[in-house]
Structure 1
């Protein structure tokens, strides 16, 4: 089988883990494109197999992740589309992802919505993906391998609506504890929106910030976190509303 190409936008590393879990079921070598860091043009050959993972931000794939993915083109290249979310709502994200891949000349052969621990509200989907999820993901991966061998494209209808739901900017603030911050500037370098000044990692331009959580996830000192009245008010409401377990879903 052809080389596996892993493509993901994964600010808190959860989408990356799902993509890597799928890739682990293939025997071939692989290469990776982390769209938090890679913002260039690339065309993939026809004989590659791409596994493309995007998180769900309020029912859409992230705007900056989309802009970077738009620069990656296929050559009738086989693709598996993954929308990874925190047990809340997928809405139009998977449909948007499959549409974009098709527009960029990828042959989408399968798609999935997978669930990971919520990156903003820590009380939602704790421990996901768990062993039951992994078992289902591995089974899906094996079905993808068979689908590729058959030469067939995606046959299932992907849920969602066109036009997609509008992008939504969350009102949550992000604080950085200056007494804890090590001034390593990792948050500055990883921010896809360039919302953290090069010379001041304590500050965050909330007008630019997409609340993607990359700066929070990468901070080894746990100095960065969500804060503010809007976040504190939403947290218990959101965690209660999304406490019921949702399951991974697959489309072949």
Structure 2
């Protein structure tokens, strides 16, 4: 079976999903690539045919596909289009996110022929409390490229679209999760919630003199929660806690110092590995 082009589709506020998706597409060897970046705005209505390969990558927030990502994906449709689904999570757990993305894809006319779960630096990660810091690393990206090569082989060896078989993403191998760190995390989360410790709703700037009002945080905010010229304020109703504003700030003026990051850093030090399904 011949694939005319690859459609690279991603929602990636802190660029982790973008890196993984790009590496997969490079691995396929397809040179005709159309990119749809849903991070800052929805795409125009688009229908992909069965001669295209869609590679769709999104981040996981709290064990689910980022809701804003799902909302922006709704402008896309497939027509029995082969699709590769990828979720990128911060080393804790992706829970049912891959199944959520699969449900969306099937409902929108895509045939899911491969799936992957990759690790990216957690949105809350900081220098003091690192959570999968630096992921995806080069090893992750090499694995993503190899995944792309395997996808290309699967497509090329299929006689036609009918014989390019779909996969059940529920059968993907789960990463190994040691029991005691998970138990400790759950116990501490329950204790934290019972304590009534306030959880910040948005990132903020502790020292306002550090903000130079360059507007980069507003430019990188996918939900429009920060307005250029009013960078000291964040609309809590719009903020999705992706921390793109924190990671893009050249002055390191903005922080998201949540007590959850301490638990994540302490309980999930052991690094998980990507898993794929073909």
Same fold (TM over 0.5): yes
* Unpaired stretches in structure 1, ≥5 consecutive residues: 161-169
Taking structure 1 as reference, are residues 127 and 191 closer, same or farther at Cα in structure 2, changes over 3 Å only? closer
Match of 1:180 among 207, 210, 232: 210
Q: Are the aligned partners of 1:110 and 1:153 in contact in 2 as well (CA < 8 Å)?
A: no
| Matched residues, number | 239
Partner of 2:6: 4
Measure the CA separation in 2 of the matches of 1:111 and 1:93.
12
Taking structure 1 as reference, are residues 58 and 159 closer, same or farther at Cα in structure 2, changes over 3 Å only? farther
Partner of 1:152: 164
Match of 1:73 among 72, 77, 80: 77
Partner of 1:118: 122
For residue 159 of structure 1, report the CA deviation from its aligned partner. Answer: 5.8
Taking structure 1 as reference, are residues 82 and 202 closer, same or farther at Cα in structure 2, changes over 3 Å only? same
Measure the CA separation in 2 of the matches of 1:223 and 1:20.
30
Measure the CA separation in 2 of the matches of 1:132 and 1:54.
20
For residue 198 of structure 1, report the CA deviation from its aligned partner. Answer: 4.7
Partner of 1:163: none
Cα RMSD for the two superposed structures? 2.0
Partner of 2:33: 30
Rg larger in structure: 2
4+ residue runs over 3 A deviation: 170-173
* Unpaired stretches in structure 2, ≥5 consecutive residues: 173-198
For residue 50 of structure 1, report the CA deviation from its aligned partner. Answer: 1.1
Deviation per CA, 1:170-189, whole angstroms, max 9, x where unpaired?
74441124322232223223
For residue 99 of structure 1, report the CA deviation from its aligned partner. Answer: 1.1
Measure the CA separation in 2 of the matches of 1:37 and 1:173.
18
Deviation per CA, 1:108-153, whole angstroms, max 9, x where unpaired?
1100000122221231212322343233322221111122222423
In the TM superposition, what are the counterparts of 1:132-151 in structure 2 within 5 Å? Answer: 132-149=139-156, 150=158, 151=163
Measure the CA separation in 2 of the matches of 1:93 and 1:220.
32
Deviation per CA, 1:201-230, whole angstroms, max 9, x where unpaired?
110122321101222233233222213xxx
